[in-house]
Structure 1
Amino acid sequence: MILIIGNILALLISVALGAIGVRFLLNPRVAAEGYGVPAGSDGGSAYLSAKGARDISVALLGVVLVCFGGAHATGLFMLVMALIPLADAVIVTRNGGRRSIVLGVHFSTAVLVLIDSVLLLLS
């Protein structure tokens, strides 16, 4: 049962990350606002699009690991992947982002990914 919950949670996290990536490709300014640091007036859409493409790639890797990699590999991947929202929290904080986004989006995501990692590694 723990494995099923862990796999479902890993899939949901991966799909959500993929959706965030698509959002960065389709509407980078709005996505940057949701991230917690608005895009500057000088553009930066190339960097935001690159972030979107990378998010989609990482999301697809998560899906592939759930489907073909086994619980241990997926659990380790999720453990490493937890560094992404932790780094995002630091980036948003250092750039004057709102504390509600730091805690409510990035830190809570890191905790969720860490919980999923533990579930998968214990299964």
Structure 2
Amino acid sequence: MKTENVMTQWGLRSLSYWMTLFIALGILFIGLRFILLPRVSVEDFGIQVCSQSDLAFGRIKGIRDMYSGLALLALLLGRMKKATAYVFTAAIIIPCMDCLQIYLNNGLDLPRMLVHGLTAVYMIITSFLLFSDTNKATS
């Protein structure tokens, strides 16, 4: 199996690049916020804090989010659009499961569920564009 890192023209002139960058920077910001302000972030997310030890879960989410943002940034900076497309598409599970967690914990909390649901839709559209860009470059 041959592994190849081919630098492409994909980058600043591509809508999918900017859409992915927006999510990467946004999730990095959210991750930092969960680490620095866990109580506020957890409550804004839609989970009630029962004790001080519950805040550890907010920090854990922050670490997960920071990793996700940094991983996407690394792929973007390397202009690895195919790898970005696969990783980004796999990450769609995160806002979907976040939306489900809000529902399971709070019932039909539309404002919070919409944030995660719309994020998932945005990511699906971005994923489609990433793969469309990838197919154009390889054909």
Instruction: Answer whether TM exceeds 0.5 for this pair.
Output: yes
* 8 Å CA contact 1:88, 1:106 repeated in 2: yes
* 8 Å CA contact 1:33, 1:39 repeated in 2: yes
2:104 is the counterpart of 1:101: no
Structure 1 residue 38, shift from structure 2 partner: 2.4
Structure 1 residue 60, shift from structure 2 partner: 0.1
Figure out how many residues of one structure are paired with residues of the other and give that number: 122
2:58 is matched with 48
Distance in 2 between residues matched to 1:87 and 1:100, nearest whole Å: 16
Correspondences of 1:1-123 after superposition (within 5 Å): 4-68=14-78, 70-96=80-106, 98-103=109-114, 105-123=115-133
* 8 Å CA contact 1:28, 1:48 repeated in 2: yes
Distance in 2 between residues matched to 1:32 and 1:55, nearest whole Å: 13
Structure 1 residue 40, shift from structure 2 partner: 2.0
More helix by share: 1
* 8 Å CA contact 1:20, 1:52 repeated in 2: yes
* 8 Å CA contact 2:28, 2:65 repeated in 1: yes
Structure 1 residue 42, shift from structure 2 partner: 4.8
Tell me the secondary structure at the aligned position of residue 95 of structure 1: helix
Normalised to the residue count of structure 2, the TM-score between the two structures is: 0.81
Distance in 2 between residues matched to 1:31 and 1:52, nearest whole Å: 9
Q: Which runs of 5+ in 1 are unaligned?
A: none
Distance in 2 between residues matched to 1:46 and 1:21, nearest whole Å: 13
Structure 1 residue 32, shift from structure 2 partner: 0.9
Structure 1 residue 46, shift from structure 2 partner: 1.4
2:6 is matched with none
Aligned Cα root-mean-square deviation (Å): 1.8
Normalised to the residue count of structure 1, the TM-score between the two structures is: 0.91
